[in-house]
Amino acid sequence: MEDAAAVRRTARASVDDIEPKRLRDDLHAFIDDGSMVPGVVTTLVGRSHGAAGDSLLERAAGVQLVYDGLRLTRTLADTEPWLSGDRDTGDMHVLAANALVARGFYLLARTEAAEAAVGVVRAFGRDETERRERGDSDPTTLEADVLDLAVVAGATAGGGDPTDALRTMASDLAGTLDAPFPPAATLADHDVADRVRRDTGAFADH
C-alpha cells in the first residue's frame, strides 16, 4: 500500500536526527513494526479535501508517531518489564515512547490539529490511570481518539473542517478494528477510501 509506505518513510525520516544511535534504532524499529492505519486515514481524508505532497505526509506522520508512542506506553503499562528484571530495556522503551510522542507533537505543532493531539494524550493518560485503578484490562479509547485526530489533521490540511460524518466514520472504524490496529491493508476491507470520498463529497481518484 503506497500510502502506508510513504507515511512510514516520513515518520522514520522525522526521527533520523535523534541521538544516541541505539535510541534512534529503537524508534525506527517501533515505526517499522506498527500499523500505519492512523497515517493512512490522515492521507485519505487530506486528499479528499484537496491536500497533497510533503505537508500532508508530515501531518500523517505526526498522527502516526503520537499513536506509536502511546501504543508503546500502553504496552509498557501492561507488561511492566522492570518487574521481570529487564530494567534496561524498559527504561529505553520509555525514552522511545516519549520521543515518538514528542516528535509527533513537533510535526503537528503549527497545524490546526495541534490542540486535538494534546487532547488525545490527555485522554490517554486519564483512561490509563482509571483502568489501572480499577485493576481491569478494559481497552482505552486510544484507537478511537487517534482516528478522530487523523480526521482533524487530514481535513484541516486541505483547509476544511472535520465533518460529523467523517468523525462518525472514524469512530465506527475504531470500533471495528482490533486494538492495536492491524496492518493498513485492512482498511480496504472496510471500504474506508470510498467512505471518506462519500462523506466529503469528493470523487477524485485516490
Give yes or no for a contact between 15 and 24, defined as CB atoms under 8 angstroms apart.
yes
Lookup result for grid cell 465506527: 172
Q: At what angle do helices 37-48 and 192-200 cross, to 10 degrees?
A: 30
Pairwise pLDDT comparison (183 vs 202), residue with the higher score: 183
d(CA 39, CA 151) in angstroms, rounded, equals 10
pLDDT of 139 reads: 67
Kindly state the average pLDDT of the residues 155-181: 95
Q: What is the CATH number of domain 2-199?
A: 1.10.600.10
**According to the model, what pLDDT value does residue 1 have?**
78
Domain regions of the chain by residue span? 2-199
